[in-house]
Amino acid sequence: MVPLSFLLREYEKRYGRSLPVINSSSVSPVLSDITGDSRESAPCSVFCCIRGEKKDGHEFAPSAVERGAAVLLAEREVSLNVPQIISQEVRRDMGRLASIIYGEPSSKMLMFAVTGTNGKSTTTWMIRHILQSAGIRTGLFGTIVYNDGAEERDAGRTTPESCEIQKSLSRMVENGCGACVLEASSHGLSFGRLEGCSFDGAVFTNLSEEHLDYHKTLEAYFAAKMILFRDYMKQNWFAAANMDDIYGKRVGELFPRNVSYFGSGEKNGDCIRATRIRNSLAGAEFSVSFPGSGEEIPVSLPLPGRFNVYNALGAITLLKSFIPDLHAVTGALLTMPQVPGRLEKYYLSNGVCVIIDFAHTPTALKNVLAELRTLCTGSLFAVFGHGGERFEANRFSLGAVASEFADRIIVTMDNPRSEDPGKIAMQILEGVNSRENPPETSLVIQRKDAVRNALDEAGAGDVVAITGKGPEKYLHIGSDFIPYSDKQTVLEWTAEKGLTWK
C-alpha cells in the first residue's frame, strides 16, 4: 500500500520532475493497484486514461471511479471529484508509477529481454529452460504465454501494457522467481510498455522486414529495437547479438562495451561460434566454441533447424555471464521441450511429418521452408496465408518464397481481420506464379479445409508445413475471434483416420 504523496515524491526523486495533481486533499489516498482498463478498477487503485487510436481512456474515467478508483492519471482534467495526476505521457508514466506501487519488482530479480524479428519466442523459452535447469524459477512474458512462476495463461500481445508487466513482476517475486525473461517487441518499446523495468541482459536475434505498416522503414524499425538497450538496461548490463546479421553487428558497434557476438562459421573468430552443425527432423547437433578459452563443447538440441542453432547460441552467449558452469548452460539444452507453434513437429503413423510454425514474414517462411527442404525425403507441402491489415508487400514475397522451396502449395486465410481473405490470397498467388515453373498450387480459403486437404494428399516421407498462426487459438475475421487451432485440426484429422501421432 502506497500513499499518493509517497508515490509522487518517489516519482520526482527517480525522474527528476514532478507531476502536477489537481483535486488533492489533506488526506492522501492509499494505493495498491494501477490499471489502464476501467473494468479492472477497484478501491485503492489508479486508473490511467490512455488515449489510443480508437478509444480515449478519459471517456471511461467515470466508470473507473464508480468501481472505486481513488486516483486518475490523465492528460487533461476530467470532471470528477477525485485526485488527478496530470501527465502528457500517460502510457509511459503508468509504468513508472506502477513500478513504485508494486515495489520495484524488476530490481529484485535477474531480468532478461529478447528482441529482434525472428526467434524471440524460442530464445526466451531456451533462456527460461536453462535458468530453471540451474534451479532458478523464472517468469516469462512472450507471444505465446505469460507465466508468473505459479500460473500460466495465454498471451494477449507479445509485450503487455506496462502496468500489467509490473503487477506480474510483483507476483513473480512473491512466487519465488529469481529471474524473468521477456520478449521485447518493437511496438512495446515504441509505446513505452517497458517503463519501470530494468534489465540485466538481452539478446538481439536478427532484423528483417516486419511491422513496416507501422514503422514505415527498416531503419525506424531498428531504432525502435534499440530503445531497449538505450533506455531499459541496468548498470553493467550484458547483451548477446547475432554477428551474422547486419543489424546484429550494428548493435555491437553501438554498444561495444556491453555486447558480445554469436554466430557460425570460421570467419567469426571473435564471437561464440557454432561449428560442425548437423541437422535432422529430430533435432540439431553442433559444437560451441568459446573465444579466448579454446574450449569447445558439444551440444544436442532436440529442436531442428539452423535458425534454432542461432537461438541456442543467443541463449548460451547471454547466460554464460550469469551461470558460471558452461557445461550446465549447454547441457540443459538436451532436455529443451518443443516450443508451441515454433517448428512444432508431429510424426503421424502414416509416415507424414507435420510442422506447425508461426512464420508469417518472408524471411521467417524462407528459414522454415529452406530448412525443411534439406530435411524432407519426400514432398514438402506449404499451407499458409497472410494477416489482414499487415504489411501488404509481404504477400507477394511470401508466395515467391513458398514457390522456391515447396513441392505443393495451398494458400488459405490467416487472420484476415477487416480485409477480404480472397484478395489477400490472390496477392500471394501473384508471388507464387512469379517464378518459372511454380509448384502445384491451390486456393482453399477456409483454413481448416486447407490443412485437411494437405493431410489427405501427403504420404510417407512427406512434410506438411502449416505456417502463420503457430499456437494461436482463433481466427480473427472482421471483429470476431473465431475458435480455431492448426494443431487441433491436425489431431482431429489424425483421429478420424485412425492414425496415431507423437
Residue 187: pLDDT band with limits 50, 70, 90: very high
Residues 344-496: name the CATH superfamily. Answer: Mur ligase, C-terminal domain (3.90.190.20)
Which residues does residue 242 pair with via DSSP β-bridges, in sequence order? 262
From CA 146, how far away is CA 409, in angstroms rounded?
34
Hunting for cell 491489415 — which residue is that?
Answer: 389
Position 267 scores a pLDDT of: 58
From CA 312, how far away is CA 389, in angstroms rounded?
33
CA distances from 384 to 166, 343, 395, 411 (A): 36, 14, 11, 5
Hunting for cell 478501491 — which residue is that?
Answer: 43
The CATH T-level fold of domain 105-335 is UDP-N-acetylmuramoyl-L-alanine:D-glutamate ligase (3.40.1190)
From CA 354, how far away is CA 372, in angstroms rounded?
11
From CA 370, how far away is CA 482, in angstroms rounded?
31
Element (H, E) at 288: strand 283-289
Find out whether 328 and 134 touch, Cβ atoms under 8 Å: yes
DSSP state of 338: P
Grid cell of 358 as nine digits: 508461426
DSSP state of 70: -
Name the percent of the chain lying above pLDDT 90: 93
Q: In Å, how far from its chain's centre is CA 498? A: 36
Hunting for cell 505459479 — which residue is that?
Answer: 150
Residue 268: pLDDT band with limits 50, 70, 90: low
Grid cell of 498 as nine digits: 485412425
Q: In Å, how far from its chain's centre is CA 393? A: 22
Whether residue 176 is predicted with pLDDT greater than 70 in this model: the reply is: yes
pLDDT in tens, 446-502: 999 999 999 999 999 999 999 999 999 999 999 999 999 999 999 999 999 999 999
**Closest-CA residue to 399 (of 367, 424, 417):** 424
Element (H, E) at 318: helix 306-319
Mean local confidence (pLDDT), 135-147: 97
Position 10 scores a pLDDT of: 97
Name the percent of the chain lying above pLDDT 70: 99
Matching fold, domains 105-335 and 344-496: no
- Spans of all domains in the chain: 2-101, 105-335, 344-496
Average model confidence (pLDDT) for the chain?
A: 95
From CA 90, how far away is CA 363, in angstroms rounded?
36
Mean local confidence (pLDDT), 188-213: 92
From CA 154, how far away is CA 141, in angstroms rounded?
10
Residue 4: pLDDT band with limits 50, 70, 90: very high
Taking each helix axis from N to C terminus, what angle separates 90-101 and 162-174, rounded to the nearest 10 degrees? 20
pLDDT in tens, 80-117: 999 999 999 999 999 999 999 999 999 999 999 999 99
Position 269 scores a pLDDT of: 61
Q: Are strands 145-147 and 138-141 parallel, antiparallel or unpaired?
A: antiparallel
Whether residue 151 is predicted with pLDDT greater than 80 in this model: the reply is: yes
Residue 54: pLDDT band with limits 50, 70, 90: confident
Which residues does residue 45 pair with via DSSP β-bridges, in sequence order? 33
Which architecture characterizes domain 2-101 according to CATH?
A: 3-Layer(aba) Sandwich (3.40)
Please classify residue 435 by burial: count the beta carbons closer than 10 Å to its beta carbon, then call 0-12 exposed, 13-18 middle and 19+ buried.
middle
Find out whether 213 and 391 touch, Cβ atoms under 8 Å: yes
Among 36-45, 48-57, 179-188, the minimum mean pLDDT is found in 48-57
Please classify residue 381 by burial: count the beta carbons closer than 10 Å to its beta carbon, then call 0-12 exposed, 13-18 middle and 19+ buried.
buried
Give the largest Cα separation in the chain, rounded.
79
From CA 429, how far away is CA 431, in angstroms rounded?
5
pTM for the model: 0.94
pLDDT in tens, 283-323: 999 999 998 777 899 999 999 999 999 999 999 999 999 99
